[in-house]
Amino acid sequence: MRLLVVEDEPRVAAFLVKGLRAQGYVVEAVGTGREALERADGFDLVILDLGLPDIDGTEVLQRLRAEGVQVPVIVLTARADVHDRIHGLDLGADDYVTKPFAFGELLARIRARLRTQTRSARTVLETGKIRLDLATHRAYVGERVVDLTAREFALLAALMHRPGQVLSREQLLSRVWGIQFDPGSNVVDVYISLLRKKLGEEVIETVRGVGYRIATD
């Protein structure tokens, strides 16, 4: 499971990353709201501080939900007022933990949210004539089974989770390869070309200067 820690205090971020990695999670940390908005949808869960230096965490949460990003979010903040708790939950937070916190309790809350997410996750994605069965790891064009590599399947799934929406190369690199954007890399373009050869040229659309999206027709 991949977790994103959004925390601008270096010592707190380092503590969380070290502790969560020791529990077997793949963890990355960012320190700004802008980075959280760019990367959150590529993770299984987000731990979000509210007092960020550029964009308040409540606005980050609100914008994520407005964009249709349904990744579970646990707010981890020093704002302990009841009004703040209610406001955060109303904006779409899945849980709200105040600082100082017990790490064991945070772990329990993370496990609970990931269990809920696993139970409720869709196992079949359908867009146009393309169907992905996430449980069996099979891809179909109409009734025809298409043989995809693991990376091709992951890239197609990332696009199909957001039908009709444009995903940038940076977003796709983060979600599928788990790496930061490299302006000199053409790996996304190469794999898009491979998918088009197997699925049909019209299945994935290029939005010049922006990125790619799955065709919804």
Q: Report the CATH number that the domain containing residue 34 is assigned in CATH.
A: 3.40.50.2300
Tell me if residue 187 falls in helix, strand or coil.
Answer: helix
Percent composition of the chain: helix, strand, coil (DSSP 3-state, to 5):
45, 20, 35
The reply to whether 108 and 28 lie within a common domain is: yes
- Based on the domain organization, do 171 and 184 belong to the same domain? yes
Nearest to 176 by CA among 188, 166, 186, 165: 188
Question: What is the model's pLDDT at position 39?
Answer: 87
Tokens 């940038």 belong to residue: 168
Number of structural domains, the chain?
2
Last residue of a domain, one of 120, 136, 162: 120
Point out the domain boundary residue: 96, 120, 144: 120
Same domain, 20 and 100: yes
User: Of the candidates 101, 120, 139, which is a domain's last residue?
Assistant: 120
Which tokens hold the place of 78? 């020093």
Q: Is the pLDDT of residue 12 over 80?
A: yes
Q: Rounded mean pLDDT of 118-135?
A: 77
Contacts for 144 with CB less than 8 Å, ≥ 6 apart: none
Half-sphere exposure of 128 (CA within 13 A, CB side): 18
Checking if the pLDDT of 181 tops 60, the result is no
pLDDT grade for 213, boundaries at 50, 70 and 90: very high
R_g over Cα of the chain: 18
Give yes or no for residue 121 having a pLDDT over 60: no
Residues 114 and 197 in one domain: no
Residue 162: the pLDDT is: 82
Do 12 and 102 sit in the same domain of this protein? yes
The tokens for 140 are 């179909």
| Whether residues 99 and 130 fall in one domain | no
Question: In the predicted model, is pLDDT for residue 136 greater than 60?
Answer: yes
- β-pair type (26-30, 2-6): parallel
Distances (CA, A) of 108 to 34, 43, 113, 115: 28, 18, 9, 11
Query: Does 18 lie in the same domain as 112?
Result: yes
From CA 51, how far away is CA 23, in angstroms rounded? Answer: 26
Q: 95-104 in b/e burial notation, b at 16+ Cβ within 10 A?
A: bbbeeeeeee
Q: Is-above-0.85 flag for pTM?
A: no
Cα separation, 136 vs 116, in Å, equals 20
Which range marks the domain in which residue 144 is found?
124-214
Res 180 pLDDT > 70? no
Instruction: Kindly indicate the confidence band of residue 172, based on its pLDDT and cuts at 50, 70 and 90.
Output: confident
Q: Mean of the per-residue pLDDT values for the chain?
A: 89
